[in-house]
Structure 1
Amino acid sequence: MALIYQVLCAVLLLSGVIVLVVAAFGVLLLPDMLSKQHAATMATTLAVMLLALGAGLWMHDWGWSVRLLMIVTFMLCTMPIASHVLARAAVAGRGLIHDREHPDVVHYRCFIRKNNDSDAEADKAKG
């Protein structure tokens, strides 16, 4: 039984490390700010939960489990807010967006409309 318990802890800890490494590559390789912040916040939250669960199972002390539960709760409360703030800053600051049809062309776009026109009127004005 102890061997299964140790293997479960090792799998959780290793899974958390793998998710963090994939998130780091996502931040480095993804093309635009919105994709990078998504990789950074979503994967980091999952990785911290996996690492905390693995560490909580590894330590046989309730004090550690309570601390790790507080860390996970803090991450679950703050990471969505941080992600939202980063996305708003990227959109408001005309974040760097890659064109999917022409990946080598980089330009700036802003998704915030200055007025409350409908999509049909905006498309008509463009054309």
Structure 2
Amino acid sequence: MLAGIELYFGGALLVLGAAFTLLAAVGVVRLPDLYTRMHAASKAGAVGGGLILLAVAVLSQDAAVSVRAIIGVMFVLLTTPVAAHLLARASYLTGYRPCNDTVIDDIAQRNE
């Protein structure tokens, strides 16, 4: 059985991770273009998923599960920003431009 502090800490991590994941989902729905949506999904989604995996590591009573969860956190935090960058760059190079509210377009300035 879990002691009190681990249970509360794991629960807090789980709720915080769910809040970040909800924030990412709201960002995907509400933001104006692909690039800002991808930013919300990759940043807040990665943090939310990482916090949920940390909650699994804290709440599980098995060392093997905890190690796998921590490796999962590292994998998510290392691969999500790289994948988002590559997808955004590929979208831009295929012709999808940012919304009209975008002030600075570094790629367009580089190609001039």
Who is 1:89 aligned against? 90
Shift of 1:95: 1.9
| Length, aligned pairs only | 109
Equivalent positions of 1:1-127 (< 5 A) are 2-100=3-101, 111-112=107-108, 117=112
Shift of 1:64: 0.4
1:6 and 1:58 in contact (8 A); partners too: yes
Shift of 1:78: 1.2
DSSP-derived class of the 2:98 partner: strand
Percentage of identical aligned residues? 31
Aligned amino acid, residue 65 of structure 2: W
1:94 and 1:110 in contact (8 A); partners too: no
Distance (whole Å) between structure 1 residues aligned to residue 97 and residue 48 of structure 2: 27
1:46 to 1:72, Cα distance in 2 relative to 1, 3 A: same
Shift of 1:63: 0.4
Distance (whole Å) between structure 1 residues aligned to residue 52 and residue 110 of structure 2: 44
Determine which structure has the larger helix proportion and give its number. 2
Distance (whole Å) between structure 2 residues aligned to residue 50 and residue 72 of structure 1: 8
1:70 to 1:111, Cα distance in 2 relative to 1, 3 A: same
1:50 to 1:114, Cα distance in 2 relative to 1, 3 A: closer
Distance (whole Å) between structure 2 residues aligned to residue 114 and residue 73 of structure 1: 33
Computing the radius of gyration over CA atoms, which structure comes out larger, 1 or 2? Answer: 1
Normalising by structure 1, we get a TM-score of: 0.74
Where does structure 1 differ by over 4 angstroms across 4 or more consecutive aligned residues? none
